[in-house]
Structures are given as structure tokens and as C-alpha cells.
Chains A and B, each alone.
Chain A
Amino acid sequence: MDAVYFLVQQMMFFSIPLLIVALGGMFSERSGVVNIALEGIMVAGAFTSILLISLLQSGMSGQILLLIAIAVAIVTGALFSLLHAYAAINLRSDQTISGTALNMIAPASAIYLARMIQPNGVQQVQFTNTFRIEKVPFLGDIPILGRLLFQNAYITTYIGFIIFGIAAFVLYRTRFGLRLRACGEHPQAADSVGINVYKIRYAGVVISGALAGLGGLVYVIPTSTNFNATVSGYGFLALAVLIFGQWKPLRILGAAFFFGLMKTIASAYSGIPFLRDLGIPSDIYKMVPFIATLIALAFTSKRSQAPRASGVPYDKGLR
């Protein structure tokens, strides 16, 4: 039973950032803009927020600092994604290229700025992890569930679940969500009933930026003690989650857990007696998440339900 608790607790560290970033990607794609810049935006969000933690940590620590860092990550991601929005929406550029540009510029600037700003001139940004919650009062004492979700956890896990709830609600139950989906499927139809496609798409991209920025921070905090200008391909994995999740919140949640579990097996199998005793080389375990991605996408991509206008620049003049 201990192995199960361990597995679930570990899984959250991997699944929650995937969930948050994939939900971000969902907002962008369902508004009609492909956002492969998620990786770069994660790096940008993680960089500013971890740098802030690193600088302020001597003066303060704990949950307040984390909340401030979260706000910084969100703002950074939102601002950074504006570059992609401008290129994709106003300039009608190829969205893959502008996304790739962001993916390249983010780690490069992070290294450059880290070396410039930090007194010791190194590119790694060190921080001390003072954010782990050993046990949430009351909730942590609930049998089974308490140990699964409310012990050895981070506040970001709960933020992730809250974001999931809000995202699903916004997408399906609000006017904004309805219009967003219309813009991703048939922008001409949205335009003909007086919806400003450009505004909606800006909103979609900026939301995806905010969530991806946050996801960058959420990924780095539990899995490392320094930030080295990378989120190890998590932005791309989040894209896979988005596709596997068929651009739908509940399926994205399932997909995020699935990929999180695979990742957990890869990185923490030595902590699980059963897997450790199988005698399989560690390289095999490390391949698991990527092989799972390949297989999962191969099976789901055939009946893919991508938003029809996703990736197609909207031009009012063309009808």
C-alpha cells in the first residue's frame, strides 16, 4: 500500500504541470491558434518566478513566497505569449514557425539573463524547496484519501485541480467559452454574428500563456532545486496530452494522469519494490513515457477531433 501512496504522490508532481499546460494549450487551440510555444512559455514562466524565489528566499519563505512566484509566472507567461499572438493573429504568420521562435528564444534569454543578473554569473538558478506541505491539517487525516492527496504535497496541486474545474466551466458553460469554440471551428460563422474573432483569439492565446507560465513553475518546484533554462520537453509532452485528450478538459485530465504515471514509473521505479525487482535496465523505464506517447497518439490521431480552424490564420477579407 505504501508503494501506491508513493506512486500517487509522485505522479501529482508530473501530472499537475502537464494538466495545467495542456489546459492552456486547449484554450489557444480551441480559439483557432496552434500554440507549440508552450515549451518556451513554460521556460519563461519558470525562469522569472524561480529567479524571484532565489532572490527573495533569504528574506521570506514558504507559501506566501510561492503564491507571489505563481503570480509572477502567470504574468510572465501571459506577456511572453503576446509575441505569439501578435505574430499569429495580426501578422497571420505560420503559427508553427512563430511558436518555434518562442521555443528558441526562451531558454537562450533565460541563460543570458541568469548570467547577467546573478552575482556569481552562473546560469543555474538555485533555490531551496521550502514549499512542501508535510500534511494538510484535517484533510491529511482522512483515511486513504488523506495520504494520497493531502500529505507530502504542494499547494500547486490544489491550484491545478481548481484550474481544471474553472477551465471546464468556462469552456462549456459561459458565453466566452461558446464564442471561443466557435472561433476555433468556424471563425467566419463567428464573425458573421458579430463576434470579434481577433479579440477572442488573443484571449485564447494569453490564457494559454498564463497557464503555461504557471505550469513551468509548477513543474520545476517539486522536481528540482535549481532551474537550468529547461523544462525537459514538458511543453511538448503537454501538447501530446492535449491531443490525446482530444481538446476536451475531462479527457485532458485523464491523459495528464496517464502520462504522469508513465513518467513516474520512469523516474521513480527504484522506489517501487515490485518494479525494482523485475531486473529490467533503467534505460527501458526511462523510455516508457515516450513509447507510451507514440502508441497513444498513433491510436488516437486517426479519429482526432482537432478544432477545424486551428492553425489557420483568420483573414476577414477571405470568405
Chain B
Amino acid sequence: MSDYIIQMINITKVFPGIKANDNITLQLKRGEIHALLGENGAGKSTLMSILFGLYQAEEGQILKDGVPVLVKDPNDANELGIGMVHQHFKLVHNFTVLENIVLGVETTRHGTLHMDEARQKVMTLSEQYGLLIKPDALIEDITVGMQQRVEILKMLYRDNEILIFDEPTAVLTPQEIDELMRIMRSLAAEGKSILFITHKLAEIMAVADRCTVLRKGKYIGTVDVKSSSPQELAEMMVGHKVDFKIDKQPAQPGEPALHVRRLSVEGSHGDKKAVNNVSFDVYKGEIVCIAGIDGNGQSELVYAITGLMPSTGEIKLNQAPIDHQSIQKRIKAGLAHIPEDRHKHGLVLDYDLQQNLSLKRYKTIEMQRHGFIRFDKVRSYAEGLIERFDIRSGQGADTSARSMSGGNQQKAIIAREIDIDPEVLIAVQPTRGLDVGAMLYIHEQLVKVRDEGKAILLISLELDEVFQLADRILVIYEGEIVAELDPKQTTPQELGLYMSGSKRQEEYA
């Protein structure tokens, strides 16, 4: 028998205009935890989708136990014992945990569903691997951590022996991440082989045996984690030496710039408020970060402040109430917004770069004459920003926003928002999906804006980013602020306890 349970040899996959995987080789040993490291767009997900049968490779082959196999669809993958926990869980929200686990491989008797055997098997597996679940609870009622355990049980129930985890920690609190690491180790100890997609070095150091690194679709190398270091892995991932720390002096808070009191937003399902009675201030010259698990009201809070959603309560910008103002008036008052979804709220994708850059400026005197836009001014303005913020694109100011890379799209939005010289800048996950270089650049820009005496409200799901940038941390849980923390005096673990709702500061009770 071959040493390797799965080998992907010289895999090449081409999408229109881009080589997503270029001659990549990945060898997975039996019983190991193998990390697949790379930045966004490095080709990790494509490679795993090929293994799981979602895509077919143009070149190369897949070997199971040394024998070439064809994986045409997820059913083939399942028969080969390959299972996958997708980044976005594939669970039916109004089915029970048990129904979700058996879906697709149901046992029936006389044509009717027979759940007793399934229940027994699931509970046995649950005990064996310490995967605590409630078999009869509905998916929508259980925590994200338990949903992930359901996904893992789905694979185990199908007797899969090769388990793929696609960015499994992105949605978890630090405590849940520790728990997941423990589960992964116990799975490996029972002889399961694990492929673990990530871009977080700490997790690889904590749990993986070996690590394969991809960069821009190419295979960079495979290393033994024990004999490697985070610095070495980071260098392989990015391609040059990286310094993750940015230069940031202590904040010098001044006057309050953004003043929020008793702010509430109705929930979309009518029963529960998405934002419930939230009060806080952001002072000039500081970065306040709202930390929380995705879906705890962060988006709605931002929509309320920026005017995209109706709300009750009080919002003041530099002492002046803005809660009943139109979005345009709020922008004029000095509110800038780097939105969560740059395609939906950040850019008009079919406009070119200069039009996108002037979206918040075209009404000014300089850019208008008798109600007509002065396109020469728009162009020179845009070219100025492109120069200053180093926005790279195929045809400069004429490039369609859609054809730009994510990092440069984000740079364009940041350039536009910073240049309107805001009093308050709201940045929502400003580095989502960006590579390390673009991320550092954006972090530096935000600190620079702060040092110019502006107030910044940052919403982030990445704890690294929270600790990197925040001068103060507010923790949001189920639409309520549950704690205010000083990043210098707290730890990710403590923050996690507040984020998951297991702790709450007295003044916020």
C-alpha cells in the first residue's frame, strides 16, 4: 500500500483568462493533518474543489492509495471516502440536525424513512469523537460551532476517511477554534486524514503536521511544520519578507465626533431587534473597533448610522443630529463609509474607475457647469487619486471597475472615502479577501487618517485586525454592546468569551 492516501499530481485548471492551478502537486499521508496555505486567489479552493469533484482538472491526475481515480462529481468523491466541510455550511436551516446528517444517504424501510438506526450511529460517532450535538434541534436554533460539528458528523456518518476543511475557523470564536483543533487532532488519531485550508499561520503551527503552500496558482513547496516557523511560512505564502506589524502610536482622542444613543434597528424577521438599544461615542483621533461574530447586528448598526436602514434613537455627528437626514446630507456632514460588500454598496461595477472615484464629488462646484458634469475635471481628479493611492488597473481611469482585482477595487473605495475629508470614517471589514500586501496598505491608511484627527469606526470579524488597529474595542453580541475593552489589556481568549455571549460586563448588563 502506498504511503499516501491521496495524491494530486501535476494538477492544472484553467478558468477563462486565468490559470487557477498551474501544475500543482499535493500528497496527503494517511492519518496526518495537512494544511493548505495561500492567500486569497492562490488556488486553494479550486484545488480542493477538483478533489471533491466540483471541478474537473484539465491536466494531472488524482491517485487514491496509489491507484488513479476519476472524481466527476461529489458522489464519486463520497464513494472514495472524501468528505468536505464547506466554508459556507451546506445545511438546511429548518431541518433537524439528524435529518441534515442523513440527507442523501437515508435508510428506509418499506419506503418510509427509518431514523432509529441513523440516530444510533450518529450518537455513537458523536461520543467517539466528542462532537457534542443535539440531534433533534433545528439547524437555525443551534450555534455556528455546533453547525460545524454537524458538518463533521455528516462526513463521519458517510464513513469518509479523507476530510477536507475549507477555512473552518473563519466563523468561530477563539474558544470554538480551540475545540475544533482538539477535534481535528482526535480525528487524525483515529486514522482519518485531514486537509485543512487556511491562511492563518497560528492555526497551522498549532495543529498541522505538514503544510503545502500555494501562491498565485503555483506550487511553492511542502514543509514539515515542526521544523518550520511562521516567518518562513509567511514568506513562502507572500513571496517576500513580511512584517505584519504596522507603526502605530497611542491614540490622542479629542472631542466626540460620532455620538450614538439608544440606537435600535428592527430585525428582518420581526421578532427580535437586529440592533438593540446601543449607545457609544467615537472620539476624534481614535479607532474604535466593533468586534463580534458575523451576524450579530454589525451590518444593521452600520446601515443605521449611514442611513441605509431606518432606526430609532439618536445619532449625532459633531454635535449635529443626523438620524433623520438623507444619506446625501449625512455624507455632506462628514460621514464616510467603506462598505462591507464592495460590489453591492461600494462600487458601480459597470462604471469605469473615474466615475466610481467621483461618485461622492460630482455634485461639487468644481465638477459641474450649469448642471452638466465636467468630465475633464472628473478625469483629472480621478487621475490624482489613482496616483496618490497607487490604484493599479489595466486602462487607468477608463478601466471598468468590474475588471479590477479585489485589492485595487478596495483601494479605489478607500481613496474616494478618505478624500472627501470625512469627520467620521466607518470601515466595515476593509481588508476582507485581500492579500497581505493590500491589507497592510489599508491598515496604514486607516492609521494615517486617525492621526489626522479623524474618528474611525471599524467593524471587523478578524481578531488579528481588531488587535492590530483598535484603540478601543466594543463587543457586540445579538445586537447589544456587551463590553468595552482595552486591546492592550485583553486577550483574544477573553474577547472570545464576550463575543460568544458567555460573558458580559456589568455596566452593559
The residue that A174 contacts in the complex, of B84, B99, B113, B270, with Cβ under 8 A, is B113
Bound-state Cα–Cα, A190 to B91, Å:
9
If A194-B75, A302-B270 touch, does A182 touch B103 (CB 8 Å cutoff)?
A: yes
Selecting from B57-65, B104-112, B180-188, the interface stretch reads B104-112
What's the nearest-Cβ distance from chain B to residue A173, in Å?
5
Answer yes or no: B241 CB below 8 A from chain A CBs.
no
Asked whether A192 and B86 contact (CB < 8 A) given A173-B112, A174-B108, A174-B112, the answer is yes
| Residue B93 is within 8 A (CB to CB) of chain A in the complex | yes
Tell me the chain B residues, 144-166 only, with Cβ under 8 Å from chain A.
Answer: 154
Q: Does A186 contact B (CB under 8 A)?
A: yes
Q: How far is the CA of A181 from the CA of B78 in the complex (A)?
A: 22
How far apart sit A302 and B266, CA to CA, in the bound complex (Å)?
14
Residues of B within 8 A of A188 (CB): 90
Assess the B103–A191 pair: CB atoms within 8 A.
Answer: no
Residues of chain A from 170 to 200 with CB closer than 8 A to chain B in the complex:
173-175, 178-179, 181-182, 185-186, 188-195
A189-B108 in contact given A179-B103, A194-B74, A302-B270 (Cβ < 8 Å): no
**Contact flag A182-B105 (CB < 8 Å), given A192-B74, A194-B75:** no
Closest chain A residue to B106, Cβ basis = A175
B74 touching A181 by the CB < 8 A rule? no
Q: Is the CB of A185 within 8 A of B92?
A: yes
In the complex the two chains form, what is the Cα distance from A103 to B300 in whole Å?
41
The answer to whether A175 touches B108 (Cβ under 8 A) is yes
Q: Quick check: B270 and A182 within 8 Å, CB to CB? A: no
In the assembly, what is the distance between CA of A191 and CA of B78, in Å? 12
Q: Which residues of B contact A181 (CB under 8 A)?
A: 92, 95
Smallest beta-carbon distance A166→chain B, Å: 12
Residues A173 and B104 in contact, CB atoms below 8 Å apart: no
Interface size (B, Cβ < 8 Å)? Answer: 25
Q: Which residue of A169, A179, A193 contacts B90 across the interface (Cβ within 8 Å)?
A: A193
- Judge whether B493 is part of the interface by a CB distance below 8 angstroms: no
Q: Are B94 and A193 neighbours in the complex by a CB distance under 8 Å? A: no
Bound Cα distance A61, B90 (Å): 55
Residues on B with beta carbons closer than 8 Å to the beta carbon of A175: 106, 108, 111, 113
Q: CA of A188 to CA of B90 in the docked complex: distance in angstroms?
A: 7
Q: Are the CB atoms of B78 and A178 closer together than 8 Å?
A: no
Interface set, chain A 120-147, CB cutoff 8 A to B: none
If A175-B113, A178-B113 touch, does A190 touch B93 (CB 8 Å cutoff)?
A: no
Flag A222-248 by CB within 8 Å of B: 1 or 0 each. Answer: 000000000000000000000000000
- B176 CB to nearest chain A CB (Å): 21
Minimum C-beta distance from B13 to chain A (A): 15
How many Å lie between the Cα of A194 and that of B111 in the bound state? 19
A308 at interface by CB-CB < 8 Å: yes
Contact of B78 among A169, A179, A189, A194 (CB under 8 A): A194
Which residues on the A side are within 8 Å of B111 (C-beta)? Answer: 174-175
Chain B's closest residue to A309 (CB) is: B92
A303 contacts which chain B residues (CB < 8 A)?
270
In contact, B93 and A308 (Cβ under 8 angstroms):
yes
Verify A173–B113 contact, CB threshold 8 A: yes
Contacts of A192 in B (CB 8 A): 74, 84, 86, 90
- From B45, which residue of chain A is reached at the shortest CB distance? A319
Residue of A nearest to B105 (CB): A193
CA distance A194 to B75 in the complex (A): 5
Chain A neighbourhood of B91, CB < 8 A: 186, 189
The reply to whether A186 and B92 form a contact with Cβ atoms under 8 Å apart is yes
Contact partners of B104 in chain A: CB under 8 A? 179, 190, 193-195
Q: When the two chains form their complex, are residues A178 and B74 in contact, meaning their CB atoms are under 8 A apart?
A: no
Residue among A169, A192, A195, A319 having the largest count of chain B Cβ atoms under 10 Å: A192
Q: How far is the CB of B458 from chain A (nearest CB, A)?
A: 29
Render B74-106 as a binary contact track against A, CB cut-off 8 A, 1 for contact. Answer: 110010000010100011111100011001111
Beyond A193-B103, A195-B103, is A186–B108 a contact (Cβ under 8 Å)?
Answer: no
User: Which A-B residue pairs are the 5 nearest by beta carbons?
Assistant: A193-B104, A189-B90, A194-B75, A192-B90, A175-B106
Beyond known contacts A174-B111, A185-B93: 16 more, CB 8 A cutoff: A173-B113, A175-B106, A175-B108, A175-B113, A178-B99, A179-B103, A179-B104, A186-B90, A186-B91, A188-B90, A189-B92, A192-B86, A194-B74, A195-B104, A302-B270, A305-B94
